[in-house]
Structure 1
Amino acid sequence: MTFPELLTRLDTLLQQHRPEYYATLGPPATGAELAAFEAEFNLVLPAELRQWFGWHNGQEGYDSFFQNNCLQSLDGAAESMRINNELLADGDFVTNWWHPAWVPFLENGGGDHVCVDLHGTFTGQAGQIMEHWHDWEARTVLFPNLTAWLAAVVQAYEQAGAESALLTDEQLEELEPEHPKGFPQEFEAG
């Protein structure tokens, strides 16, 4: 499936199995909001990430979207990036604690993120999906790209939805996506 097809499938699954959660999702990010984000951080977002924020720009509250993460808004991603970029510029981080080309799209509400790595840190593969922990050195590359990640999320939702008509936060926190061969890849900052 293509990324837009996966988003459509996810949208349907959320409406079917998590209608109350679905009602908390934000409206799509506008083209102007996406352009302002790119200009502020001097980045070009890949088409899939633009489509992601153009699907729903974050959510209200911290109910779990998948595993223990919720959707981060474009404004939330910008704020996280500003803070981390400032700390990086001040010399507060060891190597690969943070990179200015890591764009958060999920957060756990405690300062940790799942990011699209536009730089290709550790592997040289720009566009990979990785975890950023604010207080832990682990830097796990979870998926090779956003499409592979979304395909695994949709598959996990489909499997969970086959077992239960309505899905709870607790069920979503326990879901384990099927990773492609060779993933996840474990690295550490420092």
Structure 2
Amino acid sequence: MADHDVAREWARIVDWLQVMAPRSAAALRGPVGAGDRWGNVRRECAAGLPDELAQLLAIHDGADRDARGAAFLPHGNRLMCVQEIAAFRTAANGLVDEEVAGYWWHPEWVPFATKSEGVMDCLFIDARVGPGRGHIGSFFDESGGELGWWPSLGAFLADTAGALEEVRPVAAWSPPPSAAVGVRPVLPQVTDDILVWQR
């Protein structure tokens, strides 16, 4: 597995946004401050806040949910701030019982990006101890979690940066070669200085 430095890969994305989609770049919040907000999130996360996510939030504490162009991550996801991470986990964990833990949602999954129009949809980091620790999954309120999209947050950011620079879909979500003829991939596009992902 390639080693993808979070700060380096995130800088590639931000640099691209500043030139190509400045309104999306402007939606980024400043770095998370020290103190209570970090403590609140760490208390909410049973396995602790993953190091890669802490590193990313120390650069930008999410993207402003009310800013136009904030949902610039693949497929219209928006980087969450630490308060949103804590609130999402509290809500999701409150809905989990033994029957759905680890299938629908697991208390040690840590969300980091969400679709602006769907508060219970997210991308998450698996913070459980084991071989899948650090892997990125996707969660949908209606169907639950799906693991294994990227091996790390750094890999997700590297895939995203490459997709922007090469104008291609993110590799993990590309249509397979066996896809039906006419299935169009989701590509990064800029409209009114905002990055969007469209077919």
Q: Please report the TM-score for the alignment, with normalisation by the length of structure 1.
A: 0.77
The correspondence for 2:107, drawn from 86, 100, 124, is 100
**Which of the pair is proportionally richer in helix?**
1
Is 1:10 the counterpart of 2:18 in the alignment? no
What does residue 168 of structure 1 align with?
191
In structure 2, runs of 5+ residues without a counterpart are: 169-188
User: Comparing both structures, which one devotes a greater share of its residues to strand?
Assistant: 2
Superposed displacement of residue 125, structure 1: 1.1
When the two structures are aligned, how many residues end up with a matched partner? 168
- Report sequence identity in percent: 26
CA distance in 1, matches of 2:145, 2:48: 26
1:1-190 residue pairs with structure 2 within 5 A? Answer: 2-32=5-35, 33-60=37-64, 61=66, 63=69, 64-66=71-73, 67-89=75-97, 93=100, 95-109=102-116, 110=118, 111-119=120-128, 124-137=131-144, 139-160=146-167, 167-168=190-191, 172-174=196-198
Q: What is the RMSD of the two structures over their aligned residues, measured on CA atoms?
A: 2.7
- Structure 1: which 5+ residue stretches go unaligned? 176-190
1:70-113 alpha-carbon deviations (Å, 9 max, x no partner): 11111111111001111115x68465211111111110131200
What SS class does the counterpart of residue 116 from structure 1 fall into? strand
Q: For 2:162 and 2:18, how far apart are their aligned partners in 1?
A: 16
Using the TM superposition, give the Cα deviation of residue 55 of structure 1 relative to its aligned residue in structure 2, in angstroms. Answer: 1.8
Structure 1 residue 22, shift from structure 2 partner: 1.2
1:166-190 per-residue CA deviation (whole Å, 9 max, x = no partner) reads 8239963238xxxxxxxxxxxxxxx
Instruction: Give the Å deviation of 1:17.
Output: 1.2
The one-letter code of the counterpart of 1:51 is: Q
State the alpha-carbon separation in 2 of the partners of residues 68 and 9 from structure 1: 18
CA distance in 1, matches of 2:5, 2:143: 34
Structure 1 residue 34, shift from structure 2 partner = 2.1
Q: Helix, strand or coil: the match of 2:10?
A: helix
